[in-house]
Amino acid sequence: MPTIRLGDYLTAPTSGMLDGTPYEQLEKAELADFLALWEDWHRQALARLPHRIHPTAQIHPTAIIGDDVIIGPRVRVWEFSTVRAGSVLCAGVSVGFNCEVTRAFLGERTVLGHRIGLNRTLVGADAHLSANLTVAAISMWSPHMRTPEREIVLRTPDGLYRCGTPRFGALIGDRVQTGNNISLGPGLAVGRDCRIASGVTLAARIIPDHSVVTAPHTADAHVRQRPARYGTESSRA
């Protein structure tokens, strides 16, 4: 089976808050292995941290932060956002207005715009995800989406990659930038320094480093005039 090494996409945190926790080994982990161990890694990290929310973090009073979330130095969480289910926000992360971050790892200095939904997703350092981006983690082909059973599988140049879990959204590399109104996952790996334009839908595949992904835009739309009689009838009405 092909392998997906996290270090080919993500840079491990360097601020020091996660030193001595399993997260400092992030770059060495293989994706499927990490997904299988993620909850255990997180429990170990919580047990070793002197404080799970760094004193320099700024969290708006209307934001909701789960009891098992780790928040690093200088993080900003803006109005009406929810961060939960064992998420990690590394140093300098900004979570914009009305976002929902569930079981996600956000690398240092990554920015989420407003109304972003991430589920079971890892994002590298210095990424910038713009408004109204959603990462789905469950296949709609599972018989019952509340209790998913269908394993997430990615297509790679070397064959199919099995994630070993029915819950995985995306692996988004360092310095990825996106437009708005984008739907990603389930099952996606986006390489470093990629650009994803507005309106794109992607799932179940690998996008190489430095790729540019676009979708048809309004500039490609065909415009034609209506027959004159429609205008005449409208004016008479």
Are 81 and 98 within 8 A, CB to CB? yes
Q: What is the pLDDT of residue 225?
A: 66
For 86: left if phi > 0, alpha if psi spans -120 to 50, otherwise beta; the answer is: left
Q: What is the pLDDT of residue 188?
A: 97
Q: What is the pLDDT of residue 229?
A: 63
Q: Is the pLDDT of residue 86 over 60?
A: yes
Q: What is the pLDDT of residue 237?
A: 47
> For the residues 46-73, what does the mean pLDDT come to?
96
Q: Please give the CATH number for the structural domain made up of 6-236.
A: 2.160.10.10
Write down the domain spans for the chain.
Answer: 6-236
Whole-angstrom Cα distance, residue 29 to residue 137? 20
Q: What is the pLDDT of residue 1?
A: 75
* Residue 115 neighbours by CB distance under 10 Å: 19
Name the 3-class secondary structure at 227: coil
As a dihedral over the C-alpha atoms of residue 8, residue 155, residue 183, residue 61, rounded to 10 degrees, the angle is -40
> For the residues 1-21, what does the mean pLDDT come to?
92
Distance of CA 19 to CAs 27, 46, 122, Å? 13, 12, 18
Tens-digit pLDDT profile for residues 102-158: 999 999 999 999 999 999 999 999 999 999 999 999 988 888 888 888 999 999 999
Whole-angstrom Cα distance, residue 78 to residue 75? 10
